[in-house]
Amino acid sequence: MNRARVVLDRDFVVGQVPGRLFGSFVEHLGRAVYGGIYEPGHPAADERGFRRDVLALVRELGVSVVRYPGGNFVSGYRWEDGVGPRNRRPRRRELAWMSTETNQFGTDEFVDWCRVAGVEPMMAVNLGLRGPAEAGELFEYCNHPAGTALADQRIANGHLEPHDVRLWCLGNEMDGPWQMGNLPAGEYGRKAREAAKLMGWPDKNRSSTPLPECEFVVCGSSARGMGSYGQWDQAVLEECFEQVDYLSVHSYISPMNRSVESLLAFPETMGTMIREITAICDAVAARRKSRKRVNLSYDEWNVWYMERPQPPFEAWAEAPPLLEDVYTLADALCVGGMLITLLNHCDRVRIACLAQLVNVIGPIMTRTGGPAWRQTIFHPFAQASRLGRGEALRHVTESPAYSCDGEDVPTLATAAVRTGDGGVNLFLLNRGLASPLRVSVELRAFGAMRPARWSIVQDADLSARNTEQQPARIQPRPHGGATIEGGVLTCELPPASWNVIELEPVA
């Protein structure tokens, strides 16, 4: 029997888990918006066209913040097209995904949807084909109270109160040759700085009236595989360090042409990326002798079957079915591992967005005109969002390891969160595909605890999926057998399993 040991101490803390760690992303791409969150005429749609069945799943998923409207889409987007009377909104060629954008859903609908869903909007501005001026205008439309042309336009469009959007992304993946308006790092850094300046003015230091505190996310390199990885991040930050709060990080892992062992190793690479990019942020601060810390916004992460041939679709179609990956149990285990990495680095990753939310590489699937259901990856996310709130604990883990892609990968991945009521929630991934793993967790200085619940996601078939016909093929189920004696929890994790064990204090 393989064995692993974890040591926890109640005084060893990574940091408070930010609610924004459990964000997601809705892009005007495929059926994410149209047929996803918005489908007027659907039997479950409300009077605004928002699908109530999808809203219920979004709430159950526990999403805190949603990034919008892209993604690659944003770099060609004219936000003005998506506001005002719907019958006057233009239809446009959308070049990022070769679709027709009808603009029936835009900024006002998105903010309304966020309020109904109970999530915070995270708005991206177009710094690809457009620039600081238009970004400033969108900011004014959203956040200026009244008395200017754009604020009054919002009011005329039925929104008396400002949208009060606090989180702003300064473009998307601007280092990518695939990006409309792709720029060299220095040029982009200056463009982002000027946009943040316009949007941040007048700031609280120059105003006698209280103003909302807005935060800005600047684009980091869009993948570790980019030749400019690291250099781009540093060069961008040198231009706009004072104006921005977060540097974005993106990563996707494709299960295609890859073993399950290699897929499950990816959360370790994600940890490496977080440490590398954090070091670059701090190096830029050090050169300036600045105490300011630029944190990370991991605002696109997921499993994505990137090389999967897309089913043929008509060019310039409205909301064609794009990137509709159907996830396996193995993918859900990988997503669980990625959540563990985010929790363990939550002192510097202060925002994270699972990309995306509905239909497009999403935890939620719908059929246009039909039902909505949970993909396999829905479950670890929902559990982490519900039970990963509190203080993430530092831990020492001794685990057997396997060799994969030239690295030693620990069989056990762990995160631990101390909850507000004195309990501890453990997230444990056994990456061993063939053997169970006997884990002991030393609980130092916590007082008497007992295992209250153990929920497991596991199945003999790692390729099992949830579908419209079998929407609950993979879901968490209760598990038993954990004991605590002398302050040590002992449990046996089945092979290839995602486990959440809730410990509660003994009164």
* Residue whose entry in the numeric block shows the structure tokens 């790092």: 185
What is the C-alpha separation between 135 and 170, in angstroms, rounded? Answer: 9
Choosing from 356, 359, 430, 499, the residue that interacts with ligand AHR (CB under 6 A) is: 356
Is residue 99 close enough to count as binding ligand AHR by CB under 6 A?
no
Residue choice 103, 172, 248, 385 for contact with ligand AHR (CB under 6 A): 172
Measured from the CB of residue 185, what is the shortest distance to ligand AHR in angstroms?
17
Q: Which CB, 41 or 227, lies closer to ligand AHR?
A: 227
Q: What is the Cα–Cα distance from 481 to 474, expressed in whole angstroms?
A: 21
Q: Is 499 in the site for ligand AHR (CB under 6 A)?
A: no
Minimum gap (Å) between residue 24 Cβ and ligand AHR: 11
Nearest residue relative to ligand AHR (C-beta): 71
Q: Out of 70, 220, 432, 451, which residue is the one contacting ligand AHR (CB under 6 A)?
A: 70
Position among 173, 175, 215, 391 found at the interface with ligand AHR (CB under 6 A): 173
Query: Does residue 459 interact with ligand AHR by CB under 6 A?
Result: no
Cβ neighbors of 358 (< 8 A, separation 6 or more) are: 26, 31, 32, 36, 37, 54, 364, 365, 366, 372
301 phi/psi in degrees, rounded to 5: -150, 145
For 48, 100, 170, 259, the CA distances from 245, given in Å and listed in that order, are 34, 34, 11, 37
Instruction: Pick the closer one to ligand AHR by CB: 182 or 475.
Output: 182
CA 258 to chain centre: 23
Q: Which of the residues are catalytic?
A: 173, 300
- Site track 295-334 with ligand AHR (rule: CB under 6 A), x = hit: -----x----------------------------------
Instruction: Note whether 27 binds ligand AHR by CB under 6 A.
Output: yes
71 binds ligand AHR (CB under 6 A): yes
DSSP 433-464: SSS-EEEEEEEETS-SEEEEEEEEE--S-TT-
Strands annotated E in 48-139: 65-68, 92-94, 99-101, 120-125
What's the rounded Cα separation, in Å, for the pair 163 and 157?
A: 12
Only segment of 70-78, 118-126, 152-160, 204-212 that touches ligand AHR (CB under 6 A): 70-78
Nearer to ligand AHR, 303 or 404 (CB): 303
- Binding of residue 355 to ligand AHR (CB under 6 A): yes
Q: Is 72 in the site for ligand AHR (CB under 6 A)?
A: yes
CA-to-CA distance for 357 and 37, rounded, in angstroms?
9
- Rounded to whole angstroms, the maximal C-alpha distance in the chain is 71
Toward ligand AHR, which CB reaches closer, 30 or 388?
30
Q: Which residue has the tokens 């754009």?
A: 150
Token pair recorded at residue 266? 């990816």
Least gap, CB of 256 to ligand AHR (angstroms): 16
Chain residues binding ligand AHR by CB under 6 A are 27, 70-72, 172-173, 300, 355-356
